[in-house]
Structure 1
Amino acid sequence: MAPPRAQLIQLVPMKRGGSEDDNTSQADLDLDFDSAFGDESEPLHGDLGPSACMQAPARDQSSGGSRLRPPSPPLAPLRRRKLRSNCLSLIGIVLGLLVVLAVIISAVVSTTVYWTKPQAGGAEPVDDISNGPFIDLGYATYVGKALSVYPPSDDGGSSHNTSAAPVDIHRYLGMRYAAPPTGEQRWRPPALPHEEPTLQKATSFRPVCIGLEVTPHPGSDQDEDCLFVNVWGPANVVKSTTSLPVWVFVQGGGYNANSNANIDGADVVARSNGSIVFVNFNYRVGLFGFLGVPADNTTTSSPPEISANFGLLDQRALLEWVQKHISSFGGDPRHVVVHGGSAGAGSVVLHAVADGGRDEGLFAGLVAESLYVPTLPQCTEVAYKFWRAVDAVCYKSSKESWSVATALACLRLQTLSVLQDLVNVGHPLQYHGEDCPGKPLFYWGPCTDGILFADRPSVAFQDGRFVRVPMLYGVATNEGTLFAPNAASQDEVVQFVLNNFPALAADDRGADAVRKYYPRLPPLPEHNDWFPTLAQVFGELTFVCPTINILDVVAAVEGKASSPLYAYRYAMEDPSTVASGLGTVHMMDAAAIFGPGNVACCPPASYTTDDDNDSNARNGNPGLVPVMMDYYLSFVRTLDPNTYRSAQSAEWGTWDNKSRLVITSGRDQVMETVPDDLLVRCRVWLDLADVTEQ
C-alpha cells in the first residue's frame, strides 16, 4: 500500500549545510516540494492568491526539532506552475495573434498584387517588362508593351493625326503558338506549345522561319525555331466581354521564305480607333515547310499524306490558336478575317478548300491580295525531292538501301547548317526528277495530298467544295514584272513558263497558248524586247487569272445567293518603278494597306511624298494610304469595304458582271469591267488547269 502523500514528503532526503538544527534554505524547500508533488499535470488545490504566495513554510514544534511539516497548501511549486501556465497561455495568444496578422498581411498583399498587376486592359509604357501588360494563355503568361499611338492621318503617307486622341494599344510580340519544330519535331505536324512556368517576354519580334538558300548564323533573324505569333489590340479590353473583329495576316514568300514578316499592326488598330485586333505570324517554309515524305510500307508510321504541307498545317494551327485564345486579347473568334498576300493569299484560298471545303469556323471572311497559285502536283509525284535530300546528306546513292523511316531519321539528325548548305537550295529538278534548263523560281511548295487537300483549287471550287464566306480579291496591274527574267526571244518566254509549270512541257497546248495569246508587246525601259510579254504571261498565269477564275466559279456556283464578292486592280504608278520598266508591281498595295512605315521593305517613295504638291495630299500617292487602309479595315469590321471607307473614296461594287474597282490615287477609284481579251486568256488557262495543276 502506497504511503500517504504527507509521508512521502518526509521521506525525501534533505540537504543540510550544517547541524540538524540549521535552517533549511528556500532552494532546498523548492527542490523537496517539486519532488513531492510529482507530475505537473496533476490538478492543484488551495488558495493561490497573493496572500498564499507570501506565506513562509511552517515548522513542526511538537517534536522539539526543526523538521519541516507539510505546508498547506504547497506554495512555491504552485507559484511556478501558475507562472508557467500563464506564460504558456500568453505565448499561445501571441502566436495566434501573429498567425492572424500574417494571414491579414498576406491577404492585403495578394489583393494589392492582383489589382495592381496589369491585366489585358491597362498599363503605362515602362522599360521593366514585369510592369507591362500581361496575358495568360494557360500554357504561358506573356508580358507585352503598352503603346499610345496617334491614328494615321487622313492626309496619308506616314503622317499621324496628333490633334486626335491617341489610342492605347497593347502589343505582344513573339509568343509561341506551337512547339519548336526542331529535332524529332522536324517534318511533323505542329505540336501544342510547351508549358512555361515563368513569365515570358513578348516585347520584340522573334526569328522568322528560315528560307531557301539562307546561311544560318548566331543572332540571325531567321531560324528553324520560328513558330511565333504577334498580336496588337486595344488596351481597354474587358476579358470575356470585349468582342472585336480580328484581322489575321498570312505573309507570302513563294512558300520558300517569310517575306512579309513582322508587319507592324499598331497603325491599323489606331486607325480603327481600337475597334479591331490584328494578328500576324510565321510558318515553316522551304525544305522545312514543304518536304513531302513519301509512303513507307515497311513501317506503321503516319500515312505520307499528313507528312507534307507542314507550313500549311502551321497556318491551320495558328487559326485554331486564334479560336482558342483571341478572346483574351478582346477579339471575337466568330469574326476572323484571314488575309493573305502572295503565297499567303494562295494559302488562304487553300484553307477555303481544305477538308473538302468543310466550314470549321476558322474564319468569317477571306482576303486574297496578289493571289499566288503555282503548280500543285500530287505529293507522290514530288517524292524525288525527299530522296535528293537524303542522297545529299546521308551519303547513300540509292533509295532502295533505305527505308523512309531510316532516311527521315537521318535527316532529323543533321544540323541546320548542313541542311541549308546541301538541301534547302534551288535545283533544276522540278518535276519527276527531270532536269530543266533553268531553276524554277520557287523549288518548294504545296502538293495535293489527298487528305487535307483532296484536289487542286480549280477543281474544288468548280465542284462547290469551298467555305462560303464573303471574299475580297486584289491584283496589281503588272504582277509579273518582279519575277520575269529579261527575255530577249519568244523561245525564252516559253521555256521560262515550262520551267515553272513543267507538266506543260508534255502537252503542246501550253507552248502553243503562250505563242498564240502572248505576242510581243511594246518595249519597257531598261529591258529586252520580250520582257514585257514574259512578265504578262507569268503574271496572268500565276496571279491574275487564278483570281478571275475563282471569282467567276464562286459566283456561278453560288448564284444570287452567293456571299458578297469584291475585286480590285491596283493601278497606282510610282515614278521610280515606271522609269525602271516595272510599273505597278506585285504587292505594291501592302505599304498603303498597312502604312509605308510598317512594312519590312521598300515602300514606294511617292507614298510619303506629294508629287502633285497638293496641300492635302489627296491627288498624290500619299492619299492612297488612308483610302486603302480604310477599305481593308471596313471589310475586316463588317465584311463590306464600303461601311467605313474613307470619305474621299468611291463606292465599291461587287463582282456582278465581272466588275472590279480600279485604284489609282487617293481621289481616283472607279469600277471597270474586266476586258474581254483578258477573260479569253484566263479561260485558256482554266482549260489547261489539269496540266498546270493549279
Structure 2
Amino acid sequence: MLSSTFVHRWLIPSILYVTGVVAVPASRSISPSITLDKGTFEGVTDGVTNKFLGIPFAKPSTGGLRFRLPVPNDAYTGSHLANVFGPSCPQQGSTLKLPGEVVTESISFVVNQVLNVVVPESEDCLTLNVWAPASATSTDKLPVVAWIYGGGFQFGGTSTYDGGVIVQRSIELGEPIIYVSMNYRISAFGFLASKEVKEAGVGNIGMQDQRQALRWIQKYITAFGGDPTKVTIWGESAGAISVALHMVANDGNNEGLFRGAFMESGSPIPVGDITNGQQDYDAIVQETGCTGAADTLECLRQVPFEILKAAVDQSPAIFSFQSLKLAWLPRADGTFITAPPQSLVQQGQVSSVPFVTGDCDDEGTLFATSSLNLTTDTEVRDYIKTVFLPNAPESDIDQLLTLYPSDVTKGSPFDTGDLNAITPQFKRIAAILGDVVFQAPRRFFLQQRAGKQNTWSFMSKRLKATPVLGSLHGSDLLNSYSGGDLTDYLVNFVNHLDPNGAGSVISWPQYDATSSSPQILTFLDGMEPEVITPDTFRQEAINFVIGLDLRNPE
C-alpha cells in the first residue's frame, strides 16, 4: 500500500495538475462594461486585465435540449453582471476500486468532493469567459487564444484556470492577446454513444459545444478588442484531443473558426465508431428505467437529473481499473467526425493550419495507479488483452509486451533506473499507457502532417523527481499557467503562428518528418531548462504502437 504521506503530499497535488485546479487570484471591484447586441455586461478589472465571466454562448442544455446539439443564444438584451464564473457542466463521479485503501479514498475525495466544491455543477452550464488587456478597444484587433480544458472528458471546468496570467504575460512581452475559455458538456452528457445517438445525429455534443463557442468568438470578440480572423485553439489532455479533432472534424473544414492549434498531451486518438459505446449506453438506459421505452434517447431526456447523474456515475471512470479505456469520449459519428480520426489524418482530411503539439515524458504513470494489483507477466497480458486490445491477434500482444518488458529500468517514469517500481509491473504498464494514448498518436500526427503544414513539437521532462509519477501527465500546466517559458512560446504562436520570438530561450526548429532525427524542444529541470533533442526515443516500440493503434481503434 502507498503511504498516506505520499498520497497527500504528492499524488493529490498531481491529480490537481491534471484537473487544472489552480488558484485564481481575486480581482479589484472596478467594473468595466461591454455591449453585445443590445445587452450590457459588467465585468471585473485588476487594472492590467479586464475579465468578463459566465457569459452564455448557447441556450441551457436542460429539458428538451438535453442530449441535443447546442442552440445559439438569442440576441442579448438588458444588463448583466459578468463577475463570476458560470457553473461547470455535470462532472462524472467515481466509484473506485483501486488496490490500497489510501489511494482509493484520496482519489475519490479529489474527484468527487474537491472538484465539486471548487467547480459547482449544473446542466445549465454553457457559458464562456473573456480576459483582455484593460486598455483594449474594439479597434485593436488583437489575436485570440481559445482554451479548452482537460479532465478525461469526465470532469473539469473553466473556473479553475486563470486566463489573466496568460494575458498579463502577453502584455509584458509586448505581444498582447485576448483569452477565451468555454465550458462544454462532458461525460455521458456530452459524449453519449450508441446506435441511437448516431441515428439521431447528436454525437459528440461536447465538441459541438466547443464549436458553438468558437462561433460566438467570431461574432462577438471584436467588441473586446479581438480579431476573429486570428484565433488559435489551445488545450491540454482532453482539451488537446479536442483541438486535434477540430482539425479533422467536417473532413478538415474548420469553417474559418481558427487559424492555429496548440496541443499539450493530446493528438488525434485511435477511436472508432460511436456505436462502440453501446454497452455503456445500454447500462444507463437500464439504470434509469428507460429499457422498455419506445425511444430510449428521448426517455433519457426526460429522466430527472439526479437519477440520470447517478446512472452516469456508475460508468467506468478514468481512475477505475480500465483507466484510459474511457466510456465517454469523442468518436466517429458519421457526420461531424465522419470516420475514425486517425483514418481522417491518413486521408489528408486535416485543417491545414500551423500547430504545436507536445507531451510529458511520463504520461502513463498517473493512470497506471489504477492497476497496482497486477504484479505478474500473465496478469498484465490478460489486462492488455481484455481491457485495451480485445480484438488484437495474440501475436500483437506478444510483440507489445516484448517491446515493453517488465524490466523496471526501462519503464516509466523513464530514466529513473530501478526507482519508483512500487510494484513489479507498475512502470511497465505506465510506459505502455503513455505511449499508446499519447506519444504514439503525437508522433503519428507529426509524421503525417509535417511538411504539409508548419509544425513544432515539445517534450516536458520537468518534475522528473516527483516520486512514483515522474514528469506526470498534466505537469506541463505549471509551465503554461504560471507565466513560464511555455507561456511565452504560446503567446508568440498566437500572435505570429510561430512559437519563436519574444521571451524565447532557444530557437525551436520545425518538425521535419523526412529527417532520420526530427528535432523537438525539451523542457528540463536544472540549470539548462531547455534543449533541442531528437524525437527518436523508443522508436521501434512506438512505430509498432502506431500500427497497433491504426489496426485497433476503440
**TM-score (ref. length: structure 1):** 0.66
Amino acid across the alignment from 1:348: V
Give, in whole Å, the separation in 2 of the partners of 1:134 and 1:491.
63
Give, in whole Å, the separation in 2 of the partners of 1:338 and 1:437.
32
Give, in whole Å, the separation in 2 of the partners of 1:207 and 1:514.
43
After superposition, the Cα gap between the structure-2 partners of 1:542 and 1:293, relative to the gap in structure 1 and judged at 3 Å, is closer
**Alignment of structure 1 residues 236-255 onto 2, 5 Å:** 236-239=135-138, 241-255=139-153
1:572 aligns with 2:428: no
| Equivalent residues of 2:270, 2:340 under 8 A apart | no
Q: Which residue pairs with 1:514 in the alignment?
A: 400
Amino acid across the alignment from 2:462: M
Give, in whole Å, the separation in 2 of the partners of 1:345 and 1:438.
22
After superposition, the Cα gap between the structure-2 partners of 1:331 and 1:408, relative to the gap in structure 1 and judged at 3 Å, is same
The one of 474, 481, 495 equivalent to 1:594 is 481
CA shift, 1:689, in A, is: 2.9
| Equivalent residues of 1:287, 1:423 under 8 A apart | yes
The one of 278, 301, 304 equivalent to 1:412 is 301
CA shift, 1:374, in A, is: 5.0
Question: Which stretch has the larger CA shift, 442-451 or 194-203?
Answer: 194-203
CA shift, 1:371, in A, is: 1.0
Give, in whole Å, the separation in 2 of the partners of 1:375 and 1:494.
20
CA shift, 1:499, in A, is: 5.2
Amino acid across the alignment from 1:517: L
After superposition, the Cα gap between the structure-2 partners of 1:285 and 1:359, relative to the gap in structure 1 and judged at 3 Å, is closer
1:307 aligns with 2:195: no
The one of 225, 239, 242 equivalent to 2:124 is 225
After superposition, the Cα gap between the structure-2 partners of 1:478 and 1:439, relative to the gap in structure 1 and judged at 3 Å, is closer
Amino acid across the alignment from 2:294: S
| Equivalent residues of 2:270, 2:552 under 8 A apart | yes
Q: Which residue pairs with 1:457 in the alignment?
A: 341
| Equivalent residues of 1:440, 1:500 under 8 A apart | no
Q: Which residue pairs with 2:506 in the alignment?
A: 650
After superposition, the Cα gap between the structure-2 partners of 1:220 and 1:465, relative to the gap in structure 1 and judged at 3 Å, is closer
Ranges in structure 1 where 5+ consecutive residues have no aligned partner: 1-124, 149-167, 297-302, 429-435, 596-624
User: What's the RMSD between the two structures over aligned residues?
Assistant: 2.6
Give, in whole Å, the separation in 1 of the partners of 2:420 and 2:334.
46
| Equivalent residues of 1:252, 1:260 under 8 A apart | no
Q: Which residue pairs with 2:188 in the alignment?
A: 287
Amino acid across the alignment from 1:365: G
**Alignment of structure 1 residues 196-211 onto 2, 5 Å:** 197-211=77-91
The one of 151, 176, 187 equivalent to 1:275 is 176
Give, in whole Å, the separation in 1 of the partners of 2:324 and 2:176.
43
Q: Which residue pairs with 1:393 in the alignment?
A: 288
CA shift, 1:181, in A, is: 0.5
CA shift, 1:256, in A, is: 1.4
CA shift, 1:229, in A, is: 0.5
CA shift, 1:185, in A, is: 0.4
The one of 374, 377, 387 equivalent to 2:272 is 377
Q: Which residue pairs with 1:94 in the alignment?
A: none
Q: Which residue pairs with 1:582 in the alignment?
A: 469
Where 1:337 maps in the other structure, the secondary structure is: strand
CA shift, 1:498, in A, is: 4.0
CA shift, 1:439, in A, is: 6.8
Give, in whole Å, the separation in 2 of the partners of 1:500 and 1:330.
49
| Equivalent residues of 2:56, 2:128 under 8 A apart | yes
Give, in whole Å, the separation in 1 of the partners of 2:385 and 2:121.
32
Ranges in structure 2 where 5+ consecutive residues have no aligned partner: 1-26, 95-111, 410-417
Where 2:530 maps in the other structure, the secondary structure is: strand
Deviation sequence 1:45-68 (CA, Å, 0-9, x none): xxxxxxxxxxxxxxxxxxxxxxxx
**Alignment of structure 1 residues 126-275 onto 2, 5 Å:** 127=29, 132-138=31-37, 140-148=39-47, 168-195=48-75, 197-213=77-93, 221-239=120-138, 241-258=139-156, 261-273=159-171, 275=176
Amino acid across the alignment from 1:204: V
Give, in whole Å, the separation in 2 of the partners of 1:548 and 1:305.
35
Give, in whole Å, the separation in 1 of the partners of 2:342 and 2:304.
39
CA shift, 1:238, in A, is: 2.6
| Equivalent residues of 1:661, 1:672 under 8 A apart | yes
Amino acid across the alignment from 2:511: W
Where 2:227 maps in the other structure, the secondary structure is: strand
1:689 aligns with 2:549: yes
Question: Which stretch has the larger CA shift, 508-517 or 183-192?
Answer: 508-517
After superposition, the Cα gap between the structure-2 partners of 1:139 and 1:466, relative to the gap in structure 1 and judged at 3 Å, is farther
CA shift, 1:281, in A, is: 1.4
Amino acid across the alignment from 2:302: L
1:640 aligns with 2:502: no
Where 2:46 maps in the other structure, the secondary structure is: strand
**Alignment of structure 1 residues 546-557 onto 2, 5 Å:** 546-555=441-450
Where 2:144 maps in the other structure, the secondary structure is: strand
- Return the index of the structure with the highest Cα Rg: 1
After superposition, the Cα gap between the structure-2 partners of 1:147 and 1:454, relative to the gap in structure 1 and judged at 3 Å, is same
Give, in whole Å, the separation in 2 of the partners of 1:191 and 1:233.
26
| Equivalent residues of 2:42, 2:83 under 8 A apart | yes
Give, in whole Å, the separation in 2 of the partners of 1:144 and 1:554.
41
Give, in whole Å, the separation in 2 of the partners of 1:350 and 1:590.
21
Q: Which residue pairs with 1:36 in the alignment?
A: none
Amino acid across the alignment from 1:223: S
1:479 aligns with 2:479: no
Amino acid across the alignment from 1:369: E
| Equivalent residues of 2:322, 2:387 under 8 A apart | no
CA shift, 1:375, in A, is: 4.6
After superposition, the Cα gap between the structure-2 partners of 1:563 and 1:496, relative to the gap in structure 1 and judged at 3 Å, is same
Give, in whole Å, the separation in 1 of the partners of 2:486 and 2:271.
32
| Equivalent residues of 2:42, 2:52 under 8 A apart | yes
Give, in whole Å, the separation in 2 of the partners of 1:652 and 1:482.
29
Where 1:272 maps in the other structure, the secondary structure is: helix
Give, in whole Å, the separation in 1 of the partners of 2:499 and 2:133.
22
Where 1:542 maps in the other structure, the secondary structure is: helix
Give, in whole Å, the separation in 2 of the partners of 1:218 and 1:531.
32
**Relative CO higher for 1 or 2, CA cutoff 8 Å, sep ≥ 6?**
2
The one of 532, 535, 541 equivalent to 1:674 is 535
Give, in whole Å, the separation in 2 of the partners of 1:437 and 1:172.
40
CA shift, 1:673, in A, is: 1.1
CA shift, 1:260, in A, is: 6.9
Deviation sequence 1:639-683 (CA, Å, 0-9, x none): 11112134xx111111123210111147431111122x6222222
| Equivalent residues of 2:519, 2:535 under 8 A apart | yes
Give, in whole Å, the separation in 1 of the partners of 2:329 and 2:218.
27
**TM-score (ref. length: structure 2):** 0.82
